[in-house]
Structure 1
Amino acid sequence: MVPWRISTTGVSIALRVTPRGGRDDFDGIEQLSDGRSVLKVRVRAVADGGEANRAVLALLAKSLGVPKASVTLLSGATSRLKQIAVEGDPARLAEALRQLASAKSTGMRN
């Protein structure tokens, strides 16, 4: 099960973010204890004043090859679990996400 859903205008992605993670990178797909899948993301930025959120949006835009304006935080502004919308060609975005997620995938975590 992948942590993104394709729509007519792009994709919606479920993320689990680790602020102050030492680097800006993706850590594969993780299945949460409730069965949902999330794309794990770590950023160097701290979770203060929206810095980590801005870093996540910038990392996604750069990694998916879309303008920053195409990446929007839908929910989870103050949570580690976030929902992000990315506008663009759905097929291309889904393929790019598959490549990012295939780098590393992990098992279930509580």
Structure 2
Amino acid sequence: MKIQKIQIGGRMSIEPEKVVLLKANQNYTELYLYNGRMLMVATTLKILEQRFLLTNTFYRLDRAHMVNLSYINNYEAQTGKVIMQNQQEVSISRRRRHGFYSFINEHFNPFNILLK
């Protein structure tokens, strides 16, 4: 099932599978795309979070970052960092770590290996 385009601001919309990372920048949001481009939209991360969470492939790691779990290259449980395929590192807030690991285990763990 293909997800429809998501409205990101003004007359712009985007296919969610093209977005790697969303980063808050005051009242703007920077969208980092899989092809290396970056878009800045005049929509807050809180509003975009509500739209992107409907896809079940995005997770908000802290106050300023939301990632597409399909583009995670690695995550370090000891340091609480996620490394994306575009080599950006994002720290997971302490309060969201347990929820992140639970979400990963439930939705993105094909071998049912318990991740900590």
Q: What is the TM-score of this pair, normalised by structure 1?
A: 0.29
TM-score when normalising by structure 2: 0.28
Q: Larger Rg: 1 or 2?
A: 2
